[in-house]
């Protein structure tokens, strides 16, 4: 430690509270980090209080010890003795009197056991006393280690400072194991500590009751302790050091593009913690709010990351939704009656029944004739007959309906009501499904939708994206929103290829002499084709040429050994027109094609897919004695994620699987063999785990049909478009399919990718024509519009747009990039940051190799964009 550590502190030096969890105190290396962080704060002139949890796993061990018989208790204590002694030595301490003292007292306690004359009251208190030893030990160890390493640190017994308050209605168990503390700033206590030392270490999780006995603070107890101490000392701030940089705008496991929330006010933080985020326990916010002490969440392994600062609201911030979160496993009780709600005491009777059955209500929605409430998933709810008993009681006074499993999706942000007008897209997303309950709290902080739980899959990333696009989640405000989770913790950028067009910039600028023009990079396509061919579990790959039928691409893919999937005679002709492709296998997979097309194709003997009964009912002679492929629609399934949205009654594709028997009967009657079963899994699937289940369903159906030899999984391989999105892990898909193949060895597996092969290989080049300012918006016009690229207008597709003429200039202007078509929807990219651009600059619209040129039109009688190929 340097000299400044020991320089005396001013009498009014501020306090900083640092809290570390179980994994942060379990090894010598982690203790070095604590030492450094505490030392640095002391060096900067602050008094430091370190709050620690028990070593990872110790609290659980103590808990299970409490439920064991005496001999096992003693054995468990000896294991804890061993573990702590090992760490004492590992940390370079010859011995540690503090640790030995608490180990000795733990031995005594566990010998005594919890049973005394009044077992009911003493048992929870005994458990509290036993479990408190985890923190007593870790803090004693820390005090010795830090003092021995140049930072004199005093050990403070948290029970001296934290007194549990009397809460009416709490039972003995809750009083001993989930106590609450009233922590208000106590200058005398702070002064007394300051008089004795500069750096302290104390225990999280524990306090004393009015009789001086040890009690525990329950779940999230160490964070709560840190908040209590922060309030008592009126600290400059409380730092919660954990294993993630802070709170995010969504659960990063579901939304890798979730943004780090750099600043939150107390209420928002509390709301986010309550409705989903696990990083911080909601209980620890209110003590800090009352004392106006800011909280800071930081990542122990990455102290350089900014973290989340929770404090008073920064006044200059624009209203923004801060987070979208979800909770699963919710049960709704809907109660319906006519006219009764107006009766005095009716609601009181209803809620009395909930109380009587020990059920606590969370959300409430009410109307003239209906009140619906939500219940959180507790073991009691899932494994006892409480719901049946409650429903029986309620049924006497109203009509009851129990709806489950539901999920609550909550948008959190201060001033929610002022943002409603921006949420139309979000509401539309919910509008497709059954929304059981909408709740908007009077604190104006949240908006909650309760929907079927099955709807949740894939919903959060979509909502997050919609909220950003709607300008409701203002990720453009860099004071509020930090980097994405993916950028902080995901695959580092070095693993992601720089797009090919960066290296080909000069060539592309040259090609942009005539615009709009597509450019296709064949090496990128071939690389993709090779990756597909290398999949061991896939027997054949057909390129879905509708994505891009450019002859050069067909030639390259034919040479790479792929077959072709065509959906019209025109597409078959396009393949025939390429000499190298004439011998390639091909598949005819039309949808609602007329009889003549089937007749023509069957005559040529090409593999043909049917997806309806009609052809076999009315055109039997075309198929009699022949083999066909059958496309089935596996239906909505229970999950109903976006990935199967091409399934279900609202999609025109596929034979509904319920009508399979009719199809088989027709096939038998006319001697038609079903050689393969085809199901489209959806599109844009980036999650490898999606494949085996659907493939397994197809296989089990095929076994019942017999004679099937091929399972065609269609396309659907996703291409990430937004920065930071992870690529589809092809090796994982391969491994997942290999598992299916082991279970169903008799089937060949086919894939029909389109977009995956060509999207990244294509760019659209356009030139800036002019710019225009309207109100707050800056429009940037270019000569490519929806006639050249319709995906943004048609699918809300997001394509990266760069100014190729000023590629590495700072992107300082927010543009609406638009085309020349007379349609207000002719927007290629909304809210794009680009360098200040001028007429004649070349814009590059990326990932346009698929469904770009092939969907282009001459709308407004503008000429078609042409295409150039880069070999």
Partner 1 sequence: MNALADPRDARAFRCVRCGYADGVAELAYAFDDGPELIERIRFPDAPGLAEDRKVVFESALRMLHLIAGVSYYKAGVPPRIEVGTGPLDASTAELLDALYVDGLAEFAYRNGLDLRGKIAFPRAAVPADPGLPSMGREGRPRVLVPIGGGKDSLVVVEALKAIGSESTAVWVGASPLIAGVAARTRRPTLNIGRELSPVLFEYNRIGAWNGHIPVTAINSAILACAAILYGFDAIAFANERSASAATLEYDGQHVNHQWSKGWAFEQVYAAWLRTHVAAGLDYFSLLRPFSELAVTRAFAKTGAAYFDVFSSCNRNFRITGPKPADRWCGHCPKCHFVFLALAPFMPKPRLLQIFGGNLLDDDTRAAGFDALIEYRDHKPFECVGEASEARAAFTALAARPEWREDALVARFREEIAPQLDAAPLALEPWLEPAGEHGVPERFAGALDAIRRA
What stretches of 660-704 adopt beta strand conformation (E)? Answer: 673-678
**By CB under 8 A, which span of 437-445, 576-584, 737-745, 850-858 interacts with partner 1?**
737-745
Say if residues 849 and 764 touch (Cβ distance below 8 Å).
no
Residue 450 touching partner 1 (CB under 8 A)? no
Question: What element of type H or E holds 489?
Answer: helix 485-489
Q: Name residues contacting partner 1, limited to 456-495 (CB under 8 A).
A: 457
Residue 638 touching partner 1 (CB under 8 A)? yes
CB of 238 to partner 1, least distance (A): 37
Q: Name residues contacting partner 1, limited to 653-692 (CB under 8 A).
A: 657-658, 668, 673, 675, 689, 692
Q: Which is nearer to partner 1, 14 or 675 (CB)?
A: 675
Within 13 Å and on the Cβ side, how many CA atoms surround 768?
Answer: 24
CB of 724 to partner 1, least distance (A): 25
Which tokens in the block code for residue 394?
């309620």
CB of 457 to partner 1, least distance (A): 7
Q: Which is nearer to partner 1, 144 or 406 (CB)?
A: 406
Q: Hey, which residues does 832 pair with through a beta bridge?
A: 815
Which tokens in the block code for residue 452?
């079927």
What stretches of 300-412 adopt beta strand conformation (E)? Answer: 308-311, 323-336, 361-366, 370-375, 399-412
Q: Hey, which residues does 199 pair with through a beta bridge?
A: 48
Q: Name residues contacting partner 1, limited to 740-799 (CB under 8 A).
A: 740, 742-746
DSSP state of 118: T
Q: Which is nearer to partner 1, 407 or 728 (CB)?
A: 407
How many of the chain's residues bind partner 1 (CB under 8 A)? Answer: 62
Q: Which is nearer to partner 1, 369 or 854 (CB)?
A: 369
Rounded-to-10 torsion of CA 808, 814, 819, 824: 160
Q: Name residues contacting partner 1, limited to 228-257 (CB under 8 A).
A: none
Q: Which is nearer to partner 1, 328 or 618 (CB)?
A: 328
Q: How far apart are CA 239 and CA 447, in angstroms?
A: 29
Residue 650 touching partner 1 (CB under 8 A)? no
Residue 385 touching partner 1 (CB under 8 A)? yes
Which tokens in the block code for residue 101?
């003292």
Residue 377 touching partner 1 (CB under 8 A)? yes
Residue 354 touching partner 1 (CB under 8 A)? no
Residue 732 touching partner 1 (CB under 8 A)? no
Residue 338 touching partner 1 (CB under 8 A)? no
Q: How far is CA 395 from CA 349, 390, 401, in A?
A: 12, 8, 9
Q: Which is nearer to partner 1, 158 or 371 (CB)?
A: 371
Q: How far apart are CA 712 and CA 544, in angstroms?
A: 13
Say if residues 217 and 445 touch (Cβ distance below 8 Å).
no
Q: How far apart are CA 640 and CA 455, in angstroms?
A: 6
Q: Which residues are catalytic?
A: 822
Q: Which is nearer to partner 1, 555 or 636 (CB)?
A: 636
Query: Which residue, among 454, 363, 445, 351, has the nearest Cα to 398 in the 3D structure?
Result: 351
Q: Hey, which residues does 710 pair with through a beta bridge?
A: 676, 748
Which tokens in the block code for residue 201?
């270490």
Over its C-alpha atoms, the chain yields an Rg (Å, rounded) of: 33
**By CB under 8 A, which span of 155-163, 209-217, 239-247, 446-454 interacts with partner 1?**
446-454
Q: For tokens 């651009």, what's the residue?
A: 837
Q: How far apart are CA 181 and CA 166, in angstroms?
A: 9
**By CB under 8 A, which span of 77-85, 129-137, 386-394, 572-580 interacts with partner 1?**
386-394
Sole binder of partner 1 in the list 129, 206, 244, 387 (CB under 8 A): 387
Q: Name residues contacting partner 1, limited to 398-427 (CB under 8 A).
A: 399-405
CB of 678 to partner 1, least distance (A): 16
CB of 664 to partner 1, least distance (A): 8
Residue 372 touching partner 1 (CB under 8 A)? no
**By CB under 8 A, which span of 31-39, 269-277, 374-382, 591-599 interacts with partner 1?**
374-382
Residue 503 touching partner 1 (CB under 8 A)? no
Q: How far apart are CA 754 and CA 65, in angstroms?
A: 59
Q: How far apart are CA 24 and CA 241, in angstroms?
A: 8
Sole binder of partner 1 in the list 329, 490, 569, 585 (CB under 8 A): 329
CB of 393 to partner 1, least distance (A): 8
- CB neighbour class for 500 (10 Å; exposed up to 12, middle 13-18, buried from 19): middle
Q: How far apart are CA 631 and CA 609, in angstroms?
A: 6
Q: Which is nearer to partner 1, 313 or 395 (CB)?
A: 395
Residue 845 touching partner 1 (CB under 8 A)? no
Residue 397 touching partner 1 (CB under 8 A)? no
Residue 585 touching partner 1 (CB under 8 A)? no
Query: Which residue, among 107, 146, 119, 153, has the nearest Cα to 25 in the 3D structure?
Result: 146
Q: Which is nearer to partner 1, 569 or 635 (CB)?
A: 635
DSSP state of 832: E
Say if residues 844 and 804 touch (Cβ distance below 8 Å).
yes
CB of 625 to partner 1, least distance (A): 10
Q: How far apart are CA 352 and CA 177, in angstroms?
A: 27
CB of 401 to partner 1, least distance (A): 4
Note the residue count of the chain. Answer: 871
Residue 40 touching partner 1 (CB under 8 A)? no
Residue 808 touching partner 1 (CB under 8 A)? no
Residue 711 touching partner 1 (CB under 8 A)? no
Residue 391 touching partner 1 (CB under 8 A)? yes
Q: Going by DSSP bridges, is the β-strand pair 710-712/435-440 parallel, antiparallel, or unpaired? A: unpaired
By CB under 8 A, name the binding residues for partner 1. 329, 331, 377, 381-388, 390-392, 394-395, 399-405, 452-454, 457, 634-635, 637-641, 649, 657-658, 668, 673, 675, 689, 692-693, 695-697, 699-701, 704-709, 739-740, 742-746
């Amino acid at each position: 430690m340097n000299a400044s550590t020991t320089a005396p502190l001013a009498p009014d030096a501020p306090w900083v509270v640092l809290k570390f969890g179980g994994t942060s105190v379990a090894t010598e290396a982690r203790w070095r980090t604590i030492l450094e962080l505490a030392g640095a704060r002391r060096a900067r002139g602050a008094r430091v209080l370190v709050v620690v949890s028990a070593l990872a796993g110790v609290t659980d061990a103590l808990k299970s010890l409490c439920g064991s018989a005496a001999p096992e208790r003693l054995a468990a204590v000896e294991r804890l003795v061993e573990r702590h002694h090992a760490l004492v030595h590992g940390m370079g301490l010859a011995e540690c009197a503090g640790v030995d003292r608490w180990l000795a007292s733990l031995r005594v306690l566990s010998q005594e056991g919890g049973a005394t004359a009044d077992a009911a009251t003493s048992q929870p208190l005994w458990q509290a006393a036993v479990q408190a030893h985890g923190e007593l030990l870790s803090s004693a160890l820390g005090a010795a280690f830090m003092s021995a390493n140049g930072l004199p640190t005093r050990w403070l017994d948290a029970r001296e400072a934290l007194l549990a308050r009397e809460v009416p209605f709490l039972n003995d168990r809750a009083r001993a194991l989930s106590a609450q503390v009233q922590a208000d700033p106590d200058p005398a206590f702070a002064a007394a500590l300051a008089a004795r030392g500069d750096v302290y270490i104390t225990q999280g999780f524990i306090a004393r009751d009015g009789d001086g006995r040890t009690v525990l603070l329950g779940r999230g107890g160490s964070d709560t302790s840190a908040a209590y101490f922060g309030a008592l000392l009126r600290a400059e701030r409380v730092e919660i050091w954990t294993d993630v940089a802070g709170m995010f705008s969504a659960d990063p496991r579901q939304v890798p593009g979730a943004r780090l929330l750099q600043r939150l006010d107390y209420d928002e933080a509390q709301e986010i913690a309550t409705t989903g985020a696990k990083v911080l326990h909601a209980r620890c916010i209110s003590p800090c709010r009352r004392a106006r002490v800011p909280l800071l969440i930081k990542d122990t392994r990455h102290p350089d990351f900014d973290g989340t600062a929770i404090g008073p609201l920064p006044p200059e911030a624009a209203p923004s939704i801060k987070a979208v979160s979800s909770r699963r496993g919710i049960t709704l009780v809907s109660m319906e009656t006519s006219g009764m709600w107006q009766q005095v005491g009716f609601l009181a009777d209803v809620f009395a029944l909930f109380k009587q059955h020990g059920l606590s209500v969370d959300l409430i929605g009410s109307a003239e004739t209906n009140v619906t409430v939500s219940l959180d998933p507790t073991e009691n709810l899932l494994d006892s007959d409480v719901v049946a008993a409650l429903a029986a009681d309620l049924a006497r006074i109203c009509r009851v309906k129990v709806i489950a499993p539901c999920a609550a999706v909550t948008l959190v942000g201060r001033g929610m009501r002022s943002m409603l007008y921006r949420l139309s897209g979000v509401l539309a997303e919910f509008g497709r499904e059954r929304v059981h309950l909408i709740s908007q709290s009077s604190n104006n902080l949240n908006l909650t939708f309760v929907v079927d739980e099955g709807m949740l899959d894939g919903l959060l990333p979509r909502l997050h994206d919609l909220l950003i696009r709607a300008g409701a989640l203002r990720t453009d405000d860099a004071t509020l929103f930090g980097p994405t989770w993916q950028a902080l913790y995901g695959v580092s950028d070095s693993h992601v290829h720089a797009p090919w067009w960066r290296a080909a910039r000069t060539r592309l600028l040259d090609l942009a002499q005539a615009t709009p023009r597509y450019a296709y990079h064949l090496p990128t396509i071939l690389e993709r084709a090779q990756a597909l061919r290398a999949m061991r579990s896939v027997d054949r790959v057909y390129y879905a040429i509708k994505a891009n039928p450019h002859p050069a691409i067909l030639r390259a893919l034919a040479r790479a050994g792929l077959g072709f999937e065509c959906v019209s005679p025109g597409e078959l002709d396009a393949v025939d027109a390429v000499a190298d492709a004439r011998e390639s296998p091909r598949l005819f997979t039309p949808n609602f094609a007329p009889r003549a097309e089937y007749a023509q194709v069957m005559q040529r003997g090409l593999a043909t897919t049917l997806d309806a009964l009609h052809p076999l009912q009315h055109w039997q002679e075309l198929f009699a004695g022949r083999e066909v492929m059958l496309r089935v629609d596996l239906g909505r399934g229970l999950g109903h994620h976006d990935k199967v949205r091409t399934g279900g009654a609202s999609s025109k594709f596929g034979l509904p699987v319920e009508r399979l028997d009719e199809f088989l009967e027709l096939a038998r009657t006319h001697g038609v063999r079903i050689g393969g079963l085809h199901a489209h899994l959806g599109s844009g699937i980036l999650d490898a785990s999606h494949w085996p289940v659907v493939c397994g369903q197809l296989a089990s159906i095929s076994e019942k049909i017999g004679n099937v030899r091929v399972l065609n999984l269609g396309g659907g391989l996703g291409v990430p478009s937004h920065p930071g999105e992870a690529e589809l892990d092809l090796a994982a898909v391969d491994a997942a399919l290999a598992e299916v193949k082991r279970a169903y060895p008799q089937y060949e597996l086919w894939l029909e990718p389109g977009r995956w092969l060509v999207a990244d290989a294509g760019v659209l080049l356009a030139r800036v024509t002019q710019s225009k300012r309207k109100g707050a918006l800056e429009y940037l016009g270019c000569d490519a519009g929806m006639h050249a690229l319709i995906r943004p207008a048609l699918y809300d597709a997001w394509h990266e747009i760069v100014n190729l003429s000023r590629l590495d200039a700072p992107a300082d202007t927010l543009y609406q990039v638009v085309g020349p078509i007379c349609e207000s929807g002719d927007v290629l990219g909304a809210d794009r940051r680009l360098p200040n651009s001028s007429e004649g600059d070349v814009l590059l619209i990326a990932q346009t190799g698929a469904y770009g040129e092939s969907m282009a039109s001459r709308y407004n009688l503008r000429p078609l964009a042409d295409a150039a190929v880069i070999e």
